[in-house]
Amino acid sequence: MPHENEKNDLELIRNFLKDRIGPAQTEKIVPEATLTDLGIDSLMQVELLFEFEDKTGISVPTDIPPPKTVGELLQQLKEIRSRQAIK
């Protein structure tokens, strides 16, 4: 199940960014990719977190540090999920 969530989160990121950075770029959205290289700015990151909240119903804290890579972002989403599960 955790692996399933991680896969879903990566898919959510890819789907969301398809329109933002162009469909041709979505293949480059892999855990090692840096957000800067993908053209994802800080506002786009917030949009993405809002999308995560809307799709999963899990609320994202406002004080999470800005991730540098897609992998870091996935890890943050995983931690947010697990905290939610504990509650």
What the block records as the tokens of 21 is: 């950075």
* Binding of other proteins by 19 (CB under 8 A): yes
**Rounded Cα distance, 44 and 35, in Å:** 10
Q: How many residues bind other proteins (CB under 8 A)?
A: 11
* Binding of other proteins by 28 (CB under 8 A): no
Q: Which residue lies nearer to other proteins by CB, 5 or 45?
A: 45
Which residue stretch of 5-13, 17-25, 67-75, 76-84 sits at the interface with other proteins (rule: CB under 8 A)? 17-25
Contact (CB, 8 A) for 26 and 17: yes
